[in-house]
Structure 1
Amino acid sequence: MNERLEAGRYWFDQVYGEGRAEGLIDMQSGLARDLARLGIEVNFGDIYSRPGLTLAQRELLSLAALVAIGGLEPQVRGHTRGAVRVGCTATEILETVIHTVQYCGFPKALNAIRVVTDELVDLGVELPPGREAATD
């Protein structure tokens, strides 16, 4: 097994939980397994393993990029779970999505915030009140 794949498995499991990297590969078949391995190698073995950003920062940045691209709800769900797992608060996660609106527009941000909110609720994370609730 190569060094990059081992590093990728380590960092993937740090974000998503023990054995999750192998689970991602195992859920594929044939050549699709190669793509899953490459994703773990490149995204986590090369990128997530770099110094300079914490896992929490990386997860918030990943969420922002996915929101801006749009139409990637399963990945938004997964990175929301990852963000919670590495210590991001609900406020940090939701504010990251809100921040993207100025770059990607309301439709993408609104779609994503629904996915993120639903995932946070499913995880049992308490949602922060909105600003209007704080001023009432």
Structure 2
Amino acid sequence: MTEQNHADGRFDEGIRIRREVMGDDFVDAALSRNAGTDGEDLQCHLTETVWGSVWNRPGLDKRDRSLLNIGMLIALRATEELRGHVRGGLRNGLTREEITEAVIHASGYCGAPAALSAMKVVQEVLVEELGPLGE
């Protein structure tokens, strides 16, 4: 990754927060998948700006940011990113019920197709992370 903006500390802080929320496996996979490619600079930029600046702002805690991200990713139908952020939401203290309710809430604003698509991903992650409902 380029070193152009690393001096201000945003990259290091961004990596710390990104790993805390998304987990080492997710972050390592994203960085290694893009190492030496045209996407490497994008990973660096996102780590510095989204994770090192936006996620580091006062005013919202990580739990609230996770809930917002789940809603926005449902609206965008960004199911691959949603998968990671459901896991991040669980790490940040969201419950199974809150995540499910977020999908139901989004259905009223984003439509049934977006909510149904999101729920498939959410269900997979919840079962992987928490086990089947009722256990």
TM-score, normalising length: structure 1:
0.84
**Distance 1:20-1:102 versus aligned 2 partners, 3 A rule:** closer
Q: Give 1:17 shift.
A: 2.4
What's the counterpart of residue 122 of structure 2?
116
From 89, 113, 121, give the equivalent of 1:83.
89
Q: Give 1:83 shift.
A: 0.6
From 52, 55, 60, give the equivalent of 1:53.
60
CA–CA distance in structure 2, aligned partners of residues 123 and 16 of structure 1 = 13
Q: What 5-or-longer segments of structure 1 have no aligned partner?
A: 129-136
1:1-136 superposed matches below 5 A? 1-2=6-7, 3-18=9-24, 21-28=27-34, 29-70=36-77, 72-125=78-131, 127=133
CA–CA distance in structure 1, aligned partners of residues 25 and 117 of structure 2 = 30
Q: Give 1:126 shift.
A: 5.2
Deviates more, 1:11-20 or 1:87-96: 11-20
Q: Give 1:30 shift.
A: 2.4
Q: What 5-or-longer segments of structure 2 have no aligned partner?
A: 1-5
Q: Percent identity?
A: 34
Match of 1:68, as an amino acid? Answer: A
